[in-house]
Amino acid sequence: MGRAAVVWLAAAAALLQGAGCATRPAAPAAAEPVRGVTPGKFVWHDLVTSAPGPCRRFYAELLGWQFEDTQRNGKPYAIAHLGDERVAGIVAKSASAAEKGSQWVGYVSVQDVDRTVAEAVKAGGRALVAPREIETIARAAVIADAEGAVLGLARIHRGDPPDEAGPREGRFFWMEYFARDPQAALSFYTGLLGYQSEVREELAGLAYHVLKSQRPRAGLLPVPQEGMRPAWLPYVMVQDPAALSARVESLGGTVLFAPRADVRKGTLAIVADPSGAPIALQKWPIS
Amino acid sequence: MRPLARALALLLVLLAAACQSSSAGMGMDFDSGGPGWNNFSGGKVFGAPL
Protein backbone atom coordinates (compact mmCIF):
# COMPACT_ATOMS: atom_id res chain seq x y z
CA MET A 1 0.00 0.00 0.00
CA GLY A 2 1.41 3.38 -0.95
CA ARG A 3 1.91 5.99 1.71
CA ALA A 4 -0.62 8.23 0.08
CA ALA A 5 -3.17 5.47 0.41
CA VAL A 6 -2.26 5.16 4.07
CA VAL A 7 -2.88 8.86 4.50
CA TRP A 8 -6.23 8.47 2.86
CA LEU A 9 -7.08 5.76 5.34
CA ALA A 10 -6.13 8.17 8.10
CA ALA A 11 -8.38 10.68 6.44
CA ALA A 12 -11.12 8.11 6.50
CA ALA A 13 -10.68 7.75 10.24
CA ALA A 14 -10.94 11.50 10.60
CA LEU A 15 -14.03 11.52 8.49
CA LEU A 16 -15.49 8.84 10.70
CA GLN A 17 -15.26 11.18 13.65
CA GLY A 18 -16.05 14.25 11.65
CA ALA A 19 -19.20 12.81 10.16
CA GLY A 20 -21.12 14.27 13.00
CA CYS A 21 -20.23 17.75 11.83
CA ALA A 22 -22.40 17.50 8.76
CA THR A 23 -24.18 20.70 8.21
CA ARG A 24 -27.72 21.35 7.23
CA PRO A 25 -27.52 24.57 5.28
CA ALA A 26 -31.18 24.66 4.46
CA ALA A 27 -33.00 27.66 5.74
CA PRO A 28 -35.58 26.90 8.38
CA ALA A 29 -38.94 28.54 8.59
CA ALA A 30 -38.91 32.21 9.42
CA ALA A 31 -40.46 31.59 12.83
CA GLU A 32 -37.49 29.53 14.01
CA PRO A 33 -35.68 31.17 16.92
CA VAL A 34 -32.27 32.75 16.53
CA ARG A 35 -29.58 30.11 16.67
CA GLY A 36 -26.04 30.18 17.88
CA VAL A 37 -22.90 30.81 15.88
CA THR A 38 -20.25 28.13 15.60
CA PRO A 39 -17.07 29.69 14.23
CA GLY A 40 -15.21 27.27 12.00
CA LYS A 41 -18.28 25.41 10.84
CA PHE A 42 -19.01 25.31 7.10
CA VAL A 43 -22.51 26.61 6.64
CA TRP A 44 -23.01 26.98 2.89
CA HIS A 45 -21.52 26.10 -0.51
CA ASP A 46 -21.76 28.06 -3.74
CA LEU A 47 -20.58 26.95 -7.15
CA VAL A 48 -19.11 29.95 -8.95
CA THR A 49 -19.09 28.86 -12.55
CA SER A 50 -18.66 29.97 -16.11
CA ALA A 51 -21.24 27.39 -17.22
CA PRO A 52 -24.29 27.56 -14.94
CA GLY A 53 -26.63 25.82 -17.38
CA PRO A 54 -24.54 22.71 -18.01
CA CYS A 55 -23.66 22.56 -14.33
CA ARG A 56 -27.30 22.63 -13.31
CA ARG A 57 -27.98 19.69 -15.60
CA PHE A 58 -24.87 17.91 -14.33
CA TYR A 59 -25.77 18.16 -10.66
CA ALA A 60 -29.44 17.47 -11.30
CA GLU A 61 -28.60 14.23 -13.07
CA LEU A 62 -25.76 13.22 -10.79
CA LEU A 63 -27.09 14.13 -7.35
CA GLY A 64 -30.79 14.66 -7.92
CA TRP A 65 -30.69 18.35 -7.08
CA GLN A 66 -33.54 20.53 -8.27
CA PHE A 67 -33.07 24.22 -8.84
CA GLU A 68 -34.95 27.32 -7.86
CA ASP A 69 -34.20 30.48 -9.82
CA THR A 70 -33.81 33.44 -7.55
CA GLN A 71 -31.59 36.48 -7.10
CA ARG A 72 -28.95 37.70 -4.71
CA ASN A 73 -28.27 41.41 -4.59
CA GLY A 74 -29.93 41.84 -7.95
CA LYS A 75 -28.06 39.09 -9.79
CA PRO A 76 -29.36 35.68 -10.91
CA TYR A 77 -28.76 32.94 -8.39
CA ALA A 78 -29.90 29.31 -8.52
CA ILE A 79 -30.50 27.43 -5.31
CA ALA A 80 -30.20 23.66 -5.38
CA HIS A 81 -32.82 21.70 -3.47
CA LEU A 82 -33.20 18.17 -2.25
CA GLY A 83 -36.85 17.95 -1.39
CA ASP A 84 -37.69 21.10 0.54
CA GLU A 85 -34.13 21.50 1.75
CA ARG A 86 -31.64 23.91 0.23
CA VAL A 87 -28.25 22.32 -0.27
CA ALA A 88 -26.16 24.72 -2.38
CA GLY A 89 -26.16 27.65 -4.76
CA ILE A 90 -24.94 28.33 -8.28
CA VAL A 91 -23.55 31.71 -9.27
CA ALA A 92 -22.63 32.69 -12.82
CA LYS A 93 -19.17 34.18 -13.12
CA SER A 94 -19.03 37.63 -14.57
CA ALA A 95 -17.83 37.93 -18.16
CA SER A 96 -14.53 39.40 -17.04
CA ALA A 97 -13.81 36.44 -14.77
CA ALA A 98 -15.40 33.69 -16.83
CA GLU A 99 -12.11 32.46 -18.27
CA LYS A 100 -10.37 32.21 -14.92
CA GLY A 101 -11.88 28.93 -13.88
CA SER A 102 -14.80 27.72 -11.85
CA GLN A 103 -14.90 26.39 -8.34
CA TRP A 104 -16.95 25.49 -5.32
CA VAL A 105 -16.65 27.96 -2.48
CA GLY A 106 -17.32 26.83 1.05
CA TYR A 107 -18.54 29.48 3.49
CA VAL A 108 -17.26 29.09 7.01
CA SER A 109 -19.00 30.64 9.96
CA VAL A 110 -17.25 33.49 11.76
CA GLN A 111 -18.37 35.82 14.51
CA ASP A 112 -17.22 38.99 12.76
CA VAL A 113 -16.71 38.95 9.00
CA ASP A 114 -15.04 42.35 8.80
CA ARG A 115 -12.56 41.56 11.52
CA THR A 116 -11.79 38.14 10.05
CA VAL A 117 -11.12 39.60 6.61
CA ALA A 118 -8.78 42.18 8.15
CA GLU A 119 -6.94 39.45 10.03
CA ALA A 120 -6.72 37.32 6.87
CA VAL A 121 -5.15 40.20 4.97
CA LYS A 122 -2.73 40.81 7.81
CA ALA A 123 -1.76 37.12 7.68
CA GLY A 124 -0.96 37.25 3.97
CA GLY A 125 -4.38 36.67 2.40
CA ARG A 126 -6.45 39.08 0.37
CA ALA A 127 -10.08 40.01 0.07
CA LEU A 128 -11.69 38.88 -3.17
CA VAL A 129 -15.08 40.20 -2.11
CA ALA A 130 -15.11 42.77 0.66
CA PRO A 131 -17.58 42.23 3.50
CA ARG A 132 -21.12 42.98 2.45
CA GLU A 133 -24.67 42.31 3.43
CA ILE A 134 -26.36 39.48 1.56
CA GLU A 135 -29.85 40.92 1.62
CA THR A 136 -31.17 40.20 5.13
CA ILE A 137 -29.54 36.79 5.27
CA ALA A 138 -25.94 37.27 6.27
CA ARG A 139 -22.85 39.39 6.21
CA ALA A 140 -20.29 37.64 4.03
CA ALA A 141 -17.00 38.00 2.22
CA VAL A 142 -14.68 35.91 0.08
CA ILE A 143 -10.96 35.74 0.68
CA ALA A 144 -7.95 34.12 -0.90
CA ASP A 145 -5.71 32.74 1.81
CA ALA A 146 -1.95 33.12 1.94
CA GLU A 147 -1.58 30.25 -0.56
CA GLY A 148 -4.25 31.63 -2.88
CA ALA A 149 -7.03 29.18 -1.99
CA VAL A 150 -10.51 30.67 -1.97
CA LEU A 151 -12.73 30.60 1.12
CA GLY A 152 -16.02 32.25 1.97
CA LEU A 153 -16.73 33.81 5.36
CA ALA A 154 -20.24 34.25 6.64
CA ARG A 155 -22.09 35.48 9.67
CA ILE A 156 -25.65 34.28 9.21
CA HIS A 157 -27.88 36.69 11.02
CA ARG A 158 -30.24 34.04 12.36
CA GLY A 159 -27.34 31.88 13.48
CA ASP A 160 -25.85 28.71 12.06
CA PRO A 161 -27.83 25.62 11.19
CA PRO A 162 -27.49 22.96 13.86
CA ASP A 163 -25.04 20.10 13.58
CA GLU A 164 -26.57 16.89 12.44
CA ALA A 165 -26.04 13.37 13.65
CA GLY A 166 -24.35 12.30 10.44
CA PRO A 167 -23.99 12.80 6.69
CA ARG A 168 -27.00 12.61 4.45
CA GLU A 169 -27.04 11.66 0.81
CA GLY A 170 -26.59 14.49 -1.64
CA ARG A 171 -25.49 17.00 1.00
CA PHE A 172 -22.10 18.51 1.76
CA PHE A 173 -20.60 17.08 4.89
CA TRP A 174 -16.82 17.56 4.90
CA MET A 175 -14.10 19.84 3.59
CA GLU A 176 -10.46 19.17 2.85
CA TYR A 177 -7.72 21.67 2.33
CA PHE A 178 -4.84 20.77 0.05
CA ALA A 179 -1.89 22.89 1.15
CA ARG A 180 1.38 23.66 -0.53
CA ASP A 181 2.89 24.36 2.90
CA PRO A 182 0.78 22.52 5.49
CA GLN A 183 2.45 24.12 8.49
CA ALA A 184 1.92 27.60 7.13
CA ALA A 185 -1.68 26.75 6.24
CA LEU A 186 -2.26 25.35 9.71
CA SER A 187 -0.90 28.51 11.23
CA PHE A 188 -3.12 30.61 8.98
CA TYR A 189 -6.33 28.75 9.72
CA THR A 190 -5.81 28.07 13.40
CA GLY A 191 -5.04 31.75 13.85
CA LEU A 192 -7.86 32.99 11.67
CA LEU A 193 -10.68 30.64 12.59
CA GLY A 194 -9.63 29.38 15.99
CA TYR A 195 -9.35 25.78 14.93
CA GLN A 196 -7.52 23.27 17.02
CA SER A 197 -5.56 20.88 14.87
CA GLU A 198 -4.73 17.28 15.48
CA VAL A 199 -2.53 15.03 13.37
CA ARG A 200 -4.51 11.88 12.98
CA GLU A 201 -1.70 9.91 11.47
CA GLU A 202 1.70 10.66 10.10
CA LEU A 203 3.51 8.15 7.96
CA ALA A 204 6.29 8.51 5.44
CA GLY A 205 6.25 12.27 5.69
CA LEU A 206 2.58 12.75 4.85
CA ALA A 207 0.19 13.94 7.50
CA TYR A 208 -3.54 14.40 7.77
CA HIS A 209 -4.52 17.23 10.06
CA VAL A 210 -8.02 17.45 11.45
CA LEU A 211 -9.29 20.96 12.10
CA LYS A 212 -11.66 21.11 15.03
CA SER A 213 -14.11 23.63 16.32
CA GLN A 214 -16.15 21.85 18.98
CA ARG A 215 -15.94 18.85 16.65
CA PRO A 216 -13.99 18.00 13.48
CA ARG A 217 -14.85 20.42 10.70
CA ALA A 218 -12.25 19.79 7.99
CA GLY A 219 -9.09 17.98 7.01
CA LEU A 220 -5.80 19.45 5.87
CA LEU A 221 -3.11 17.64 3.92
CA PRO A 222 -0.29 18.42 1.50
CA VAL A 223 -0.99 18.88 -2.18
CA PRO A 224 -0.09 15.48 -3.54
CA GLN A 225 0.96 16.60 -6.96
CA GLU A 226 3.48 19.05 -8.32
CA GLY A 227 1.80 22.05 -9.88
CA MET A 228 -1.52 21.49 -8.11
CA ARG A 229 -2.76 24.75 -6.64
CA PRO A 230 -3.86 24.77 -3.00
CA ALA A 231 -7.61 24.65 -2.67
CA TRP A 232 -10.51 23.63 -0.50
CA LEU A 233 -12.29 20.49 -1.74
CA PRO A 234 -15.92 19.99 -0.69
CA TYR A 235 -17.31 16.53 0.00
CA VAL A 236 -20.82 15.34 -0.81
CA MET A 237 -22.16 12.10 0.56
CA VAL A 238 -23.26 9.57 -2.07
CA GLN A 239 -24.29 5.94 -2.01
CA ASP A 240 -22.33 4.66 -4.99
CA PRO A 241 -19.34 6.76 -6.08
CA ALA A 242 -18.30 4.20 -8.71
CA ALA A 243 -21.67 4.26 -10.42
CA LEU A 244 -21.82 8.04 -10.29
CA SER A 245 -18.30 8.55 -11.59
CA ALA A 246 -19.12 6.20 -14.46
CA ARG A 247 -21.79 8.69 -15.54
CA VAL A 248 -19.72 11.84 -15.12
CA GLU A 249 -18.25 12.03 -18.62
CA SER A 250 -21.60 11.47 -20.30
CA LEU A 251 -22.89 14.42 -18.26
CA GLY A 252 -20.09 16.68 -19.43
CA GLY A 253 -17.78 16.33 -16.45
CA THR A 254 -14.40 14.74 -15.86
CA VAL A 255 -13.34 11.99 -13.49
CA LEU A 256 -10.27 13.25 -11.65
CA PHE A 257 -9.96 10.29 -9.34
CA ALA A 258 -11.95 7.09 -9.83
CA PRO A 259 -12.69 4.89 -6.83
CA ARG A 260 -9.88 2.49 -5.98
CA ALA A 261 -9.98 -0.40 -3.58
CA ASP A 262 -6.79 0.73 -1.86
CA VAL A 263 -8.10 4.23 -1.12
CA ARG A 264 -10.89 4.32 1.44
CA LYS A 265 -12.05 0.93 0.22
CA GLY A 266 -13.23 2.36 -3.08
CA THR A 267 -15.65 4.80 -1.48
CA LEU A 268 -14.14 8.03 -2.86
CA ALA A 269 -14.41 9.65 -6.27
CA ILE A 270 -13.20 13.13 -7.16
CA VAL A 271 -14.80 14.61 -10.24
CA ALA A 272 -14.94 17.92 -12.03
CA ASP A 273 -18.22 19.32 -13.28
CA PRO A 274 -18.64 20.69 -16.84
CA SER A 275 -17.02 23.96 -15.80
CA GLY A 276 -14.04 22.21 -14.23
CA ALA A 277 -14.95 22.71 -10.58
CA PRO A 278 -13.73 19.77 -8.48
CA ILE A 279 -16.00 18.03 -5.99
CA ALA A 280 -15.54 14.84 -3.95
CA LEU A 281 -18.18 12.11 -3.92
CA GLN A 282 -17.83 10.03 -0.77
CA LYS A 283 -19.81 6.95 0.17
CA TRP A 284 -20.75 6.86 3.81
CA PRO A 285 -20.11 4.94 5.93
CA ILE A 286 -16.85 3.77 4.42
CA SER A 287 -17.10 0.15 5.55
CA MET B 1 -65.12 34.51 9.63
CA ARG B 2 -64.31 31.37 7.71
CA PRO B 3 -63.34 33.18 4.50
CA LEU B 4 -61.27 35.59 6.57
CA ALA B 5 -59.57 32.74 8.36
CA ARG B 6 -58.82 31.09 5.03
CA ALA B 7 -57.44 34.33 3.67
CA LEU B 8 -55.23 34.76 6.71
CA ALA B 9 -53.99 31.20 6.43
CA LEU B 10 -53.19 31.74 2.78
CA LEU B 11 -51.39 34.96 3.62
CA LEU B 12 -49.30 33.17 6.22
CA VAL B 13 -48.40 30.45 3.75
CA LEU B 14 -47.38 33.04 1.17
CA LEU B 15 -45.36 34.96 3.72
CA ALA B 16 -43.60 31.79 4.83
CA ALA B 17 -42.82 30.93 1.22
CA ALA B 18 -41.50 34.43 0.57
CA CYS B 19 -39.27 34.27 3.63
CA GLN B 20 -38.07 30.81 2.70
CA SER B 21 -37.15 31.88 -0.82
CA SER B 22 -34.68 34.45 0.38
CA SER B 23 -33.25 32.89 3.47
CA ALA B 24 -30.28 30.89 2.22
CA GLY B 25 -27.28 31.29 -0.01
CA MET B 26 -24.63 33.89 -0.64
CA GLY B 27 -24.41 34.22 -4.42
CA MET B 28 -21.19 36.20 -4.66
CA ASP B 29 -19.02 36.24 -7.76
CA PHE B 30 -15.36 37.19 -7.66
CA ASP B 31 -12.46 37.66 -9.99
CA SER B 32 -10.24 34.68 -9.27
CA GLY B 33 -9.19 31.52 -11.03
CA GLY B 34 -10.31 28.06 -10.06
CA PRO B 35 -8.03 25.56 -8.40
CA GLY B 36 -6.60 24.50 -11.74
CA TRP B 37 -6.89 20.81 -11.12
CA ASN B 38 -7.51 20.05 -14.78
CA ASN B 39 -4.33 18.01 -14.92
CA PHE B 40 -5.06 16.26 -11.66
CA SER B 41 -3.79 12.73 -12.17
CA GLY B 42 -5.57 11.13 -9.28
CA GLY B 43 -4.54 7.60 -10.12
CA LYS B 44 -0.90 8.56 -9.99
CA VAL B 45 -1.34 10.61 -6.88
CA PHE B 46 -3.47 8.75 -4.41
CA GLY B 47 -2.93 5.15 -5.19
CA ALA B 48 0.58 4.84 -6.51
CA PRO B 49 3.32 3.45 -4.29
CA LEU B 50 5.57 6.36 -3.41
| Chain A nearest C-alpha distance from B50 (Å) | 6
Identify all chain A residues contacting B16, using CB atoms and an 8 Å cutoff: 29-31
What integer is the mean pLDDT of A176-194? 95
Task: Please name the residue ranges forming H helices in chain A.
Answer: 3-18, 52-63, 113-122, 182-193, 241-248
Query: What is the C-alpha separation between A110 and A25, in angstroms, rounded?
Result: 15
Predicted pLDDT of residue A38 = 94
* pLDDT of B21 over the 70 cut: no
pLDDT at A202: 60
Least Cα separation, residue B11 to chain A (angstroms): 14
Q: Per residue in A107-161, pLDDT tens?
A: 999 999 999 999 999 999 999 999 999 999 999 999 999 999 999 999 999 999 9
Q: What is the pLDDT of residue A149?
A: 96
- Name which of A90, A254, A256, A275 to mutate to probe chain B: the one with the most chain B Cβ atoms within 10 A of its Cβ: A256
Q: Which residues pair with B14 in a beta bridge?
A: none
Torsion of CA A73, A106, A47, B33, to 10 degrees: 100
State yes or no: pLDDT of B43 exceeds 90: no
Residue B3 at interface with chain A, using a CB cutoff of 8 Å = no
A89, B26: Cβ pair inside 8 Å?
yes
List chain B residues with CB under 8 Å of A154: 26
- Higher-pLDDT residue of A96 and A56 is A56
* CB–CB contact B27 A46 (8 Å): yes
A237 versus A11: which is more confidently predicted? A237
Contact A72 B40 (CB under 8 A): no
Q: Is the pTM of this model over 0.95?
A: no
A277 contact residues in B (CB cutoff 8 A) = 34
Encoded amino acid at B40, one letter: F
Smallest CA-to-CA distance from A18 within A173, A168, A182 is with: A173
Q: Which of A67, A177, A221, A257 to mutate to test the interface with B (most CBs of B within 10 A)?
A: A257
Query: Average per-residue pLDDT in chain B?
Result: 61
Examine the pLDDT at A3 and tell me if it is beyond 60.
no
Mean pLDDT of A8-15: 56
Beta bridge partners of A126: A144
Instruction: Answer yes or no: are the C-beta atoms of B23 and A30 closer than 8 Å.
Output: yes
Could you tell me where the DSSP H helices lie in A69-200?
Answer: 113-122, 182-193
B residues 4-43 lying closer than 8 A (beta carbon) to A: 15-16, 19-43
> Any idea what DSSP says for residue B29?
-
* CA angle centred on A268, ends A213 and A52, rounded to 5°: 85
Angle at B32 between CA A71 and CA A49, to 5 degrees: 45
Disruptive mutation site among A23, A42, A48 for chain B (greatest number of B CBs within 10 Å): A48
> For position A223, what pLDDT does the model report?
85
Structural contact between residues A93 and A102, judged by C-beta atoms closer than 8 angstroms: yes
